[in-house]
Amino acid sequence: MIRLLLVEDDPALVRTLVIVLEAHGYAVRAVTDGRSALSAVREQQPDLVVLDLGLPDLDGLDLVETVRPWYRAPILVLSARDAETTKVHALRAGADDYVTKPFGVEELLARIEALLRRSDPASDTVRSGDLAVDLAAHRVERDGDEVHLTPTEWRMLEVLVRARGALVSQQALLQTVWGPQYARETNYLRVYLAQLRHKLEDDPARPRHLLTEPGAGYRFR
């Protein structure tokens, strides 16, 4: 069953959309704030996110920018903000479609169907040199031998692997792995990246897979 994450703080609209979407065969999880949405995207990797921009704790645009480097499934923005600049910002930040409230349910369903048809889920296993990272099984092998990672090490590696080749900013990594309140704790990144390099790199001092771009972020290659 296709899993949808609905991020919306209007209880009446949530009730309506959950009824409609479930009636059309989707498994729907609804959350009402940005922090819960971040956790749900990270932990459950839904097949599509329907996102309101006006959340009580985070702006939806910031949420799109945070998750897009490592979350590949479609994001459909559903918002009362109808300014062209906001739509352009959302799409350039990584949203795949933008529907303005008030909207027609049939149009929303059609747009969801179109996005799902075009989506291209990432392969479960990402291989790079001597590493094989199975994202579905939460398993990493080096030269064919399984490497044990702590839950935090795995979450950090998973974010970087899902964004393979792309720069993941320090802030995005901190917010995704530890939560929005840890956005300035850059020392966490140094500690856990050192642990990951020790486990996954032939020469942790000269890494081939887990690269640092000073002052900017990290990249998996």
Per-residue pLDDT tens digits of the chain, which is 221 residues long: 789 999 999 999 999 999 999 998 899 999 999 999 988 998 788 999 999 999 999 899 999 988 887 788 999 999 999 999 999 999 999 999 999 999 999 999 999 999 988 775 545 788 888 899 988 788 999 988 999 999 999 989 988 888 877 888 888 888 888 887 787 888 999 999 999 999 999 999 999 999 999 888 899 98
Where in the chain are all domains bearing CATH 3.40.50.2300? Answer: 3-119
Integer Cα distance of 178 and 180 in angstroms: 7
Secondary structure (DSSP) of 105-161: HHHHHHHHHHHHHH--PPPSEEEETTEEEETTTTEEEETTEEE---HHHHHHHHHHH
The pLDDT value recorded for residue 69 is 79
The pLDDT value recorded for residue 120 is 57
Determine contact, residues 36/19, Cβ cutoff 8 Å.
no
The domain over range 123-220 is classified in CATH as 1.10.150.50: no
**SS percent in the chain: helix, strand, coil, step 5:** 45, 25, 35
The pLDDT value recorded for residue 123 is 56
Where in the chain are all domains bearing CATH 1.10.10.10? Answer: 123-220
Determine contact, residues 106/129, Cβ cutoff 8 Å.
no
The pLDDT value recorded for residue 87 is 94
Taking alpha carbons only, the member of 198, 210, 206 closest to residue 160 is 210
Residues 6+ apart with CB under 8 A from 164: 126, 128, 220, 221
Domain 3-119 is in which class? Answer: alpha beta
Determine contact, residues 1/13, Cβ cutoff 8 Å.
no
The pLDDT value recorded for residue 156 is 92
The pLDDT value recorded for residue 121 is 54
